[in-house]
Amino acid sequence: MYQCYRSSQPDRRRALVRSSAALDLLVQEKIAFQAILPATGWCLTHGGHNTVLECVHSGILIIIWPIAVDQPSNAMHLTHNVDMAYELIEVRTGVGAGPLHRTGKAPVGTLDAVRDMLRDALARAFGEDGEAKRRRLLGLRERLEGAWSESGPARREVEEFLNHVRALPVATVFPIQNA
């Protein structure tokens, strides 16, 4: 399995390149996420919207380490509502280290607890539970692709909206403000 590492420090990068063959490590200045993601079995991510969509599009299982903004709600939705991801709760710090609203439990936060949670998530991700999650994820991908296909409802609705906007007088779309 290849892992990716990006370093902006030239000396560090050169040292990694020299040792990469022995470590089974791919070192690149820039990594095209969309190109490498399909070659992975799962993605450990903070769970932002774009990464989640890229994983769904690629059919890659998601292990989420949420920090802030949309990440905790994405993690909750993907793990509890649609059951197609794993959430790492024990890694939370700061505000996120408090009790979770949905369970009332706070992360223990010890290194052993983090290690146990990650091992459990990986064991499940590569077992029957992971396969079931992957099937649900692939089903979602199929529905999304269908929605945006040539005759899909998402494409149809966007085209109708754009046709409506195109039919508006220019002054309505781009009102001229008096100076």
Q: Where along the chain do its domains lie?
A: 1-31, 37-166
Residue 2: per-residue pLDDT: 39
Which stretches in the chain have pLDDT values below 50? Answer: 1-7
pLDDT of residue 104: 85
Q: How many CB atoms lie within 10 A of CB 89?
A: 24
Tokens of 115: 């290690």
Three-state DSSP at 5 gives: strand
Report the CATH fold assignment for 37-166: Rossmann fold (3.40.50)
Determine the angle formed by the axes of helices 111-125 and 128-147, rounding to 10 degrees. Answer: 70
pLDDT at residue 78, as a whole number: 95
Phi and psi at residue 37, to the nearest 5°? -55, -45
CB 60 within 8 A of CB 78: no
Residue labelled with tokens 């949905």: 102
